[in-house]
Each structure stands twice: as structure tokens, then as C-alpha cells.
Amino acid sequence: MTGTPTERADPIGDNAHSPVEGIVHRYQDRVLLKLVNVCAVYCRFCFRREMVGPGRQMLSAQHLDAALAYVAAHPEIWEVILTGGDPLVLSARRLGEVIRRIAAIDHVKIVRLHTRLPVVSPHKITPALVRALKAPAKTTYMALHANHPRELTPAVRAACARIVDAGIPMVSQSVLLRGVNDDGPTLEALMRAFVECRIKPYYLHHGDLAPGTSHFRTTLGEGQALMRALRSRVSGLAQPAYVLDIPGGYGKVPAGPGYIDMCGDAGAMVEDINGVKRQYAQPSFRGTPPISGLPEIGR
């Protein structure tokens, strides 16, 4: 399918924030480390479809050395996010080696992996692979990408349980896709399924402007309406952040509906989960607020 004039080969601007091969440094305290350009499955809506696919490979040893040297030279980097491609297509040995090298960088405290492998090949989530994910003296998180509740089969749930039982917290990311999950019951079932698997819903992405994907994209208004419906149907545990990655490399921003209209200093009008406007009076202080610093015990 051909693209529309607004679609881009690099829709979220990775290239503009790639100081060395394999690194994307868009946000100050974290970087993406794109270890591999291959996946266990190729999604038609992929925003990296121009650089992911058969015939690609892992970063060369030279490029990996340069990428890790960049991380080591930037003490503001608190989190390294392994992505690609899908980092879990690597063997337990190779993945473990990379994670150990990241763990040797003192200022990096969090290692996060983004993957679809537990969904598409749950049998590959072996004890050896799970052991390889844990970074010595660091915290490992895993973000699982799934878009429909039917993807979370018993085998997938068992694979996720192996990861969580090993002490690796899991979060989710999904893409809002027209004709796939753009209705209230499906989105509700997906988020509930994540929570049942001990996976915290994290991101619901608005579709990126990848070439040939316009038929999958909803409008922002449709996405906001779905998030309003979700707010009234499931608990906070099952609420993802609906986000838009601004084209051109300007980062992710919350795209969900607004519930509060400010009314100057007097207060605000707050919309409840049923769409009814409620008045909220804000406190008004003259001079120094009556309480400063830590609250007193028993207050």
C-alpha cells in the first residue's frame, strides 16, 4: 500500500537523535540501544519498517563498542532501553553479554527491554533467557507489545509468568489500530488481560506516520473518546497513557482527553467519568501559605 503525503520513512525522528550507530538519545536521562534490526514477526504498522527486516543483523562489535562508550561518557543516562528490532531474538548468551556490559556502567540504573517475542514465540522464553535478562546490581524491566486480547493465550501468559516470577516487572505497550482494537470492549479486554498477567498497562500509542499505514490510524478524537470510555469501565491499574509521538523527533506527549477547565484563580470545572461538569474551588492564600515544609505528625 502506498503512503500518503504526510507519512514519513522516519516518522518519529530517530535519525535526528542518533549520535552514533545504534543509539537514539532523544530524552536526557535515557537512550535507546537498537541491538538488532530483525524481529520474530514483522508488523504491518511498524514505525521502523524502513530499517527492520530480513537480511539485517545485529550491531557489529565495533558499533556496539562505540554505542556503549557513548552511554559510559554521558552520566545523565539513567536508563538504557534495548530495542530494535527485537532484542530477545538474540541467544541468551549474546543478550546476557550485552546486559552485563551495560550493568558495568555505574550511572546506568535501569535496563528496559521492548519485545513481542513472548507473544509470538512464547516457547523461546526459556529459563536461560530469563536469567540473561537480569543485570547485576541493576533493575530490569520488560515492555511487552500486544494489541489484542486474543494474543494473550495460555502459553503467552505462562511465558510472562516466568519473567515476572523471576523478579522482572513487566509493562505493556500497544498501538491503537483501526479495525483491530479501536472499540471499547476490545480495549477494555486487552487492558484487563495485561493486568491479569501482572503486566501494568503503560502506553497506548497513537499510530505513527509510517509509510502505507494510514488505513490503521484513527483520529486523535476517536482515541480520546476511547480513553474516556476506558476511564469509566476499568480501574487505574488498567489505564494506559495514550500518547502521540510528535513527527520529526520531538518526543512523546500525552494525548488523552482533558477533564479540567481552569476558571482563573476562583477554581475549575471538572468533568467526571460520566461526562458531568462539577465545580471545584481552589484554595486561596494571601501571603505565606499556612503550612510549609513537612506536615506535622498527626495533622
Q: pTM for the full model?
A: 0.86
Confirm if 113 and 133 have CB atoms less than 8 A apart: yes
Judge whether 197 counts as a catalytic residue. no
**Among residues 81, 80, 99, which one has the least CA distance to residue 90?**
99
Is a pLDDT exceeding 60 seen at residue 299? no
CB atoms within 10 A of CB 272: 11
Judge whether 39 counts as a catalytic residue. yes
For 106-110, what is the mean pLDDT? 98
- What is the per-residue pLDDT across 151-172, written as a single tens digit (0 to 9) for each? 999 999 999 999 999 999 999 9
- φ/ψ of 191, rounded to 5, equals -70, -40
Dist. CA 106–CA 291, nearest whole Å: 39
Determine what percent of the chain is predicted with pLDDT higher than 70: 87
Q: To 5 degrees, how large is the angle CA 91–CA 97–CA 102?
A: 130
CB atoms within 10 A of CB 243: 19
Query: Annotated catalytic residue: which of 27, 100, 178, 198?
Result: 27
Dist. CA 268–CA 256, nearest whole Å: 19
Query: What pLDDT is attached to residue 106?
Result: 97
Is a pLDDT exceeding 60 seen at residue 8? no
Query: What pLDDT is attached to residue 55?
Result: 57
7: cell is 507519512
Dist. CA 234–CA 229, nearest whole Å: 9
**Among residues 45, 110, 100, which one has the least CA distance to residue 68?**
100
For 111-133, what is the mean pLDDT? 97
Query: What pLDDT is attached to residue 252?
Result: 85
**255 or 299, which is more confident:** 255
Alpha carbon dihedral 148, 154, 155, 156, in 10-degree steps, equals: 30
For 128-135, what is the mean pLDDT? 95
Query: Annotated catalytic residue: which of 43, 182, 203, 228?
Result: 43
Query: Annotated catalytic residue: which of 26, 116, 200, 217?
Result: 26
- What is the per-residue pLDDT across 244-264, written as a single tens digit (0 to 9) for each? 988 877 888 999 999 888 887
Is a pLDDT exceeding 50 seen at residue 45? yes
Dist. CA 236–CA 121, nearest whole Å: 30
Query: Annotated catalytic residue: which of 208, 217, 228, 242?
Result: 208
Dist. CA 3–CA 211, nearest whole Å: 5
Judge whether 263 counts as a catalytic residue. no
Which amino acid makes up residue 63?
Answer: H
Is a pLDDT exceeding 90 seen at residue 16? no
Query: Annotated catalytic residue: which of 162, 198, 252, 259?
Result: 252
**33 or 44, which is more confident:** 33
Please list, in sequence order, all residues whose beta carbon lies within 8 angstroms of the beta carbon of residue 135, skipping any fewer than 6 positions away. 99, 100, 102, 103, 111
Query: Annotated catalytic residue: which of 14, 86, 182, 245?
Result: 245
Judge whether 94 counts as a catalytic residue. no
SS3 of 286, please? coil
Confirm if 76 and 29 have CB atoms less than 8 A apart: yes
For 36-49, what is the mean pLDDT? 75
Query: What pLDDT is attached to residue 264?
Result: 76
Please list, in sequence order, all residues whose beta carbon lies within 8 angstroms of the beta carbon of residue 247, skipping any fewer than 6 positions away. 8, 11, 12, 13, 208, 209
Query: Annotated catalytic residue: which of 46, 100, 124, 178?
Result: 46
